[in-house]
Chain A
Amino acid sequence: MRTHKVFIVFVFVVVWEVVAVLANSRFLPSPLHVGTTFWNLLSSGALFRHAAVSLARVLAGFLLALAVGLPLGVLMGWFPKMENLSVIIEMLRPIPPLAWIPLAMLWFGIGFQSKAFIIFIGAFFPILSNALLGVRETEPYLVEAGRVLGASDSQILRNIILPNSFPSILEGLRIGLGIAWMCLVAAELTGLNPPLGLGYLIMEARDLGRADTVMAGMIAIGVIGYAMNIALRQLEKRLVRWRP
């Protein structure tokens, strides 16, 4: 399986190289060119600094979304009255996180907070709705099975609903993290302080017309996003062994 994947990546790079050579255009730098740029960025430590700042922004926004979205989703799923909140949630959800950028800059300026806010918006809804779904879709007979064994409401929530919703919650985290990562780049494309971040790297390279640096930044984003996804999947495998 692994050799297959390596092979596919290899074929992709070869096709890219061939197309780049045929096109012979600055608009499409060759993998070799991009690889050199990538390596230079990596060895100078610049890429690491950009990535570290980006990761910090993503984690802050993501953890905030987790801290608010998860309990809110669970409560909305558990208390029928809380479900009325979904009117507001369902109206806010279709608004693309990027549409919040102008307001985020007005409210939070160009610093850390406005980026974290955009990421929070992006990660919040999948986390919330997956938690809500997980709780609401817990089969009623599991709840009743707990009741006849003497469990109280809070014991049912803690010992049945939450563990049973766990796969759905984790799925929400995975989607949320993916969206957070996507929002990050867009959030960094406009005014920011300090001038660091993978999105910033791309923006600056775009303004200067450096397609190779743009691609190097994109590759860094792809690789980190891929790694985060794999890490979450491994976590899921370990924590949800009970799933078929």
Chain B
Amino acid sequence: MNAIIALSLFGISNLFLGFLKNRKILLPATLIFILVAFGLNLADWNHEYSWFNNMLKTNNLSINFTSVILLATFLVVAISRHFGDDEEHSHPAEYYAIMLFSAVGAIMMVTYENLIMLFVGLEILSVSMYVLTGSDKRNLRSNEAALKYFLMGSFATGILLFGVALVYGATGSFDIYGIGIAVTDAKAQMGGQYGPILMAGIILILVGLLFKISAAPFHFWTPDVYDGAPSIFTAFMSTVVKTAGVAATYRLLSISFPAMYGLWGNPLVYIVGATLIIGNITAVYQQSFKRMLAYSSISHAGYLLITVLAKRPETNSSVLFYSLAYSIATISAFAVLIIVSEAKSKAGKADESFDALNGLAKNNPFLAFVLAVSMLSLAGIPLTAGFFGKFFIFTDAFSNPSSLFKGILVVAVLMSAVGIYYYFKPIIAAYMKKGDTDKIEISPIYKYTLILTTALTIVLGIAPDLVKKLF
């Protein structure tokens, strides 16, 4: 929990560091800040603490999610090496500070005990993201993305807040455990008949959260925003924001509303199905690597939501494993995209399509290997973490006896096959197509970060128990 306080302070100190002449210190300082927060976070391991009059509550699950968020933040910051180089982003300190602040919001979203904290966390995260999305100030698409994200995002948060108010009206509590008790009582007294206020409240909260996770049909902002934002922040959005959103949804549904599974379970199954189908099928038609990753993030939201639905004790670790596997693979992919498109724009041909990757295996075999591993992991092929992520999800989902669920599994399996189709496009471009023969040089920090993500992907693909046995 001290991580939240520490990160907020670090964010502010980052702003002050920006006054220094020596900008080179910013990146290492931010990385150290995140590592310190990581350590503080782990200090609470195996203790359940309530903080600030039951506003936040840490347990091992929330600590694990916080670790994933901090790891993702760390990796994204690490690959932002060249971010402050151009005129456009001449004050990188602000961006680093905002990233730290949004990490604070994300951590609040996975540790909240009071719905107010969920709202505050979500707002901290979202407002930071609106700013970061628009940080390419002179780029029209970046501006469009920021405006779009801001308008739609504010609506979604408003809807969520409205839902929180209704749930409070129905149960008399903001506390997720308190709500859980009230709901169970209501079930016992009224035999499964809930008032319309409670039901409307749950649905509105879910809409707000599903918007942040970019599940269909609340996904329309995703491709444009992901495409318009600078790649580094797209990587941040598709990992940190998604993990936080799924963890928050999971926390709420599994603690407050398990008794009302009948109400939200079936609609969510259809939402998962729609998300999987829309995300995967649309990804097939993309010509831009970045846009493909945007749609792929929609589809992974679908897989992640399956775990939210599966009622099984092991589900905790499955959500966590999947978000970890997904985050590191996505960051690898974005890092390759950033490096390649940087090299392309230096050569005067800015390009974020698959063609930009042509001949990568020759220009830089290491990058091509990193790309291949991350794509295989996202596609869920064995030897990579992504395979076990999918495997645990399928196992959890299969233990749910409902036949609707068996249907969704078949959809998920078919869509995994579709996924292979588009995840192989970059691999084919990198290994089998000929490109222009410029060698691509990468700086050491990229190299070490990518070695870390790739090694982690493979290690988790061989020994998933390293994460699984944390529970």
Partners in one complex: no
Residues of B whose CB lies within 8 Å of any CB of A are none
Seen from chain A, the residues whose Cβ lies within 8 Å of a Cβ on chain B are none
